[in-house]
Amino acid sequence: KQEVTQIPAALSVPEGENLVLNCSFTDSAIYNLQWFRQDPGKGLTSLLLIQSSQREQTSGRLNASLDKSSGRSTLYIAASQPGDSATYLCAVGSDYTGANSKLTFGKGITLSVRP
């Protein structure tokens, strides 16, 4: 059974800092990994999707990397801003026969960026 872990559960940093959010998963037989952002009272917003054949994806100040063999992904946020404050969720699409995009989520990291 796939398990996804995100540590720490919460993180507080000053504005402008570069930071790395970590995600680990137990079963390396994945076909993709997604990073989502969740704001209070709102749904999830997909930030980056990395296919299993890829090593990283970039969007603006965000860069996500994937190392399948070690079961790890990182989300790098450059020059953090108060507007980046949210919960960041890592989700793994696992290689279930006949199934598609059943995602297994971590519990998320709640990020607070202080002005």
Q: Which amino acid type is present at position 36?
A: F
Q: Which stretch binds other proteins (CB under 8 A): 14-22, 59-67, 76-84, 98-106?
A: 98-106
Subset of residues 14 to 73 that bind other proteins, contact rule: CB under 8 A: 31-32, 34, 36, 41-46, 49, 51
| 1 counts as binding other proteins under rule CB under 8 A | no
Contacting residues toward other proteins, per CB under 8 A: 4, 31-32, 34, 36, 41-46, 49, 51, 89, 91, 93, 96, 98-108
